[in-house]
Amino acid sequence: MLQPLPDHLSPDRWIAQIFSARTAAEGGIVRRRVSDVERLVGRERFLREIARRGFRAVENGGHIVIFCNAEPVRIVV
């Protein structure tokens, strides 16, 4: 169940802030805790937004790592 957000932060605004960050805008990598994603916007919605933008993501150790570009992701080890 999603917990209420502070009045100044809607799910739409939280998502916009992530993907408008300089690192994301430059095609870099951003990381968010799974628990935060689930609490603030919900996993399904967040993953839909990643896919809509054509990005890739991996999950490990309680974090979702988003590659903010359309390049393939390869696990090397």
Residues 47, 51: Cα–Cα separation, whole Å = 6
Query: Among all chains, which residue has been given the structure tokens 């430059």?
Result: 26
CA–CA dist 2, 42 (Å, integer): 7
- Residue ranges per domain, the chain? 29-77
Residue range 38-60, pLDDT digits in tens: 999 999 999 999 999 999 999 99
Closest CA to 71 of 32, 31, 21, 27: 27
Q: Where are the alpha helices (DSSP H) in the chain?
A: 11-20, 22-25, 34-40, 43-52
Say what the pTM is.
0.85
Confidence class for position 1, pLDDT limits 50, 70, 90: low
Six-digit token pair at 39? 């609490």
